[in-house]
Amino acid sequence: MPDQRFAEIIAFAHEAGHLKHTPRTGWLLGGVRNGESVAEHSYRVAVLAYVIAACEGANPERAATLGLFHDLPETRIGDVPSVGKKYVSTASPHDIVSDQVADLPADLRDRIVSAVDEHESAKTAEATPESRCSRDADKLECLLQAREYQREGYTELDEWVRSSAEAVSTATGKALAAAAMDVPPGEWWGSFARAVGR
């Protein structure tokens, strides 16, 4: 029988893995079928949070941690799209994540709850630079994903692009959002292919 602490961590890891199968439901409103999972979204949020924080002079590791854990509560409540939030009441992210990690070792539990709480504080007066970077990364990731879906032929996503670009608050986030409007989603490999073909 494994040490109970490790058994609880494994149970938590299985729950976190459920985000790989939890769809980001808002894309259905734009006609996207088989859209990304919450885990796919969270991965790029963490990468972008790291980059934004590094450019902003904030702590990149902390910002990436906030981005990585920010949607963890969705294993319990799913992804409620923006149009549903007016009609659906859910527990606070703090309450949900506190339940999710209740059986973990105290230090680990407190770190994860703190990460979710800090991300959630991004629009408050107590916001840390890292929480603002993480929130900007969340919005920027949505903008990038919308642009990628547009490339695939989905035509009802202009509102995602516009609202995501307008939601960023840091100087770096705004500059990246502006660049995301101009740089085609395939540019990362197109420029490589052009260089190799010379």
4-192, which class in CATH?
A: mainly alpha
pTM for this entry: 0.94
Q: What is the pLDDT of residues 139-173, one digit of tens each?
A: 999 999 999 999 999 999 999 999 999 999 999 99
Q: What is the pLDDT of residues 127-142, one digit of tens each?
A: 999 999 999 999 999 9
**Rounded to the nearest 5°, which phi and psi values hold at 175?**
-65, -40
What single string gives the DSSP state of each residue in 10-73?
HHHHHHHHGGGG-B-THHHHTT-SS--BHHHHHHHHHHHHHHHHHHHTS-HHHHHHHHHHTTTT
The ranges assigned to domains in the chain are: 4-192
Q: What is the pLDDT of residues 88-112, one digit of tens each?
A: 889 999 999 999 999 999 999 999 9
